[in-house]
Amino acid sequence: MGRKMTRDAEKQREEGERKTREEAKRRERIQGIKDEKEALGTIVIVASLIATITFAAAFAIPGGYDRNQGRDQGMAVLARAAAFKAILIINTIAMVCSVTSVFLCLVALNYAEGEEDHDHFENRGAAALALILVSMFALITATFVVLAHSIALAVFTCIITCTSFIVYFLKLKKVFSS
């Protein structure tokens, strides 16, 4: 009888330890989801700022508008310049990527709560991060094109931007990998 009570007590202890481990894992998953949601919030802010900048850049055209009477009145002065065309294309890429990133983050937040949908959450978060990277590189490239006549300023600006970009990327990578 004493052995049976000892075995029963041992089984109860093992069951209690198993439940404690499962509860700890559950709390860890919940904390991970909170951290990932916070990271998505950061991505939404950055993507929204990039979208705002690119939208404003579409109206603040380099070189301004032609004010002379004629068929080109109101058109961009530099419309035929290769640099202008490059900036326009790069700016459009940055805007589309940043707006799409915001959309993916908002969709991912719908999947954040359910554990069974966590893969969808992570996939959309990773896609949003990748699109932010593309839009940030596009902005760096556009800055370089605008400052091409002052190569020292262009290189210095790109170095500062790339350094902050790397720090930002490493921080987000740490959040998503934990």
Quick one: pLDDT at residue 116?
A: 63
Segment 47-70 mean pLDDT:
80
For residue range 101-142, what is the model confidence (pLDDT) as tens digits? 999 888 887 766 655 666 777 788 888 888 888 888 888 777
pLDDT tier at 178 (50, 70, 90 boundaries)? low
What is the C-alpha radius of gyration for the chain, rounded to an integer number of angstroms? 26
**Can you give the pTM of this predicted structure?**
0.66
Query: What are the CB-based long-range contacts (under 8 Å, 24+) for 115-121?
Result: 115/29, 118/33, 121/33, 121/36
